[in-house]
Structure 1
Amino acid sequence: MLGDGGMTSCTPEFHGDPGDGAVSFMHTFAAKHGCGVREIPQGSIVRLRFPYLSGPRNPLTQCLRRFGVRGQSRAEKHLPDEPFSRSFWIGCVSGLVDTDGHVRERRHPKGTVHGSVEYATVSPLLARQVADTLLRLGVTSRHRAIERRSEEAHWVNGYRIKGRRPLNGLEVSRATALVRLADLLRLRIGYKATSLAGVAHAVGHVAPARSDMHGYDESVALDRVASIESAGRKRVFSFAVGPASLFIVNGLVTGAA
């Protein structure tokens, strides 16, 4: 719903291609929550509305409200601030790539295959949260803001998008990160899943970069530094550890200068 879902009207909505797996999933999801499905064709896509089958409360609306995502506009969409499981976040990222993502394969004139998984949203907070979620899963990404000065349509991630709001794009393009991402995601849209598997297979032979930590160990958890504050001048103690100057304290890898 954070991808192609509308959550500001009295009845939740979802927009998608009736020929792909996301719309089929939403049908099943609505039935599970006791909601009806009203289909409204709009060109090449279909607009799904989810009114409750009976009674005054819509359980899908209640579900969205429970996790704090009810009523979010496009520019305000964000992930719930909840301690969900690792499998939940994998499913969440999979859903966002299914709806607002694109898998791209590029071939160099010499025949070398490169690839990327790209995701775009007008919500800067959602983009940062997805980037941080990927990082915790051991996948590095690049974030860039795309300014739009007019109402003219722009092609982003294979989609034609209109509007003045800046787009926030994420790109996973390192070979090691792509292989890891392909192993994590569970895409429901067939052609995207097939493209991702093909890209991962094509770049699977590339060795991890030795200068950076791009080949992650499963036992290492990564997160982004949230803030740095001065603690003032205090007396400290240190000791030397060689040859890498790294040691483990309370399960965390740290080092001495």
Structure 2
Amino acid sequence: MNAASWRVVAGSVAGPQHANVELSNQDSVRQRMLPGGLHALAVADGAGPAARATLGSNFAVEAAIAAAVRCFPEPPVGLAGWRSATLAFADECLSGFDEEVAHAGGPRADYSTTLLAVILAPPFLAYVCVGGCFLVAQRDPGGSSLVVAPRAVLVPAAEPPASAVNPGLSGAVYLTSPHRDEDLRHGVLADTALSGVALGTGGVVDGMLRAAYAPDGSAYHVAPAGFDEYFDTFRDDAVDARVLSRRLRSREFAASSGDDKTLLMAVRR
């Protein structure tokens, strides 16, 4: 992969609930170039009620980047190599976070946070996720699709509405949760048409994803067709990356959720 052919853009802002009471943004975001042209990307969503949520989300993304450096010293060979490296990456993300929390001291629950980490080296895409973040991938041709769905409970509808907005999270799981290993999701995609990836925290779920309905009325998340606009906008280097943060601060996004809002994107030019 030619690293110079990809652009990484991040936006992260405090949600209205925090801004109104002068609390800091509890989300964290990191990205790093690795040898061989790999991109390591990570976002984390600190749990609002947790006493050290901001520190927890920082621990999570720092642990993910450190794990990426150790597990991907060079691009793996073939799908089997990628799967093996990704499994090790998942273990290192969790153990690295645990070490940081143990060193800092205090109750584990004080550091509650989610995590989504990605290693991008098209045609391969590896991911590790715990909790309510989500991952969208764009194909050219093909458009955007949801790869990792947020852990949210959607209300079934007897008659699917023409337009639906996602309800909030229920039964959230964090890196500090006793049963986090049961929620851990990791995998590898291989797609020569990959043209963009977007990592989002829980605060942008309602503003960026939509609910779709199966024939039995059950609901599930989808990335709407309009998601392509985000990738297409930042494919142009002339568009300032700060446009993304301004978008996340807009009235539209403020109305969708009071939570902190973070979106990290990599787009193929």
Fold match, TM over 0.5? no
TM-score by length of structure 1 reads: 0.29
| Higher relative contact order, chain-length normalized (CA < 8 Å, sep 6+) | 2
Between Structure 1 and Structure 2, whose CA radius of gyration is higher?
1
TM-score by length of structure 2 reads: 0.28
| Structure having the larger proportion of residues in strand | 2
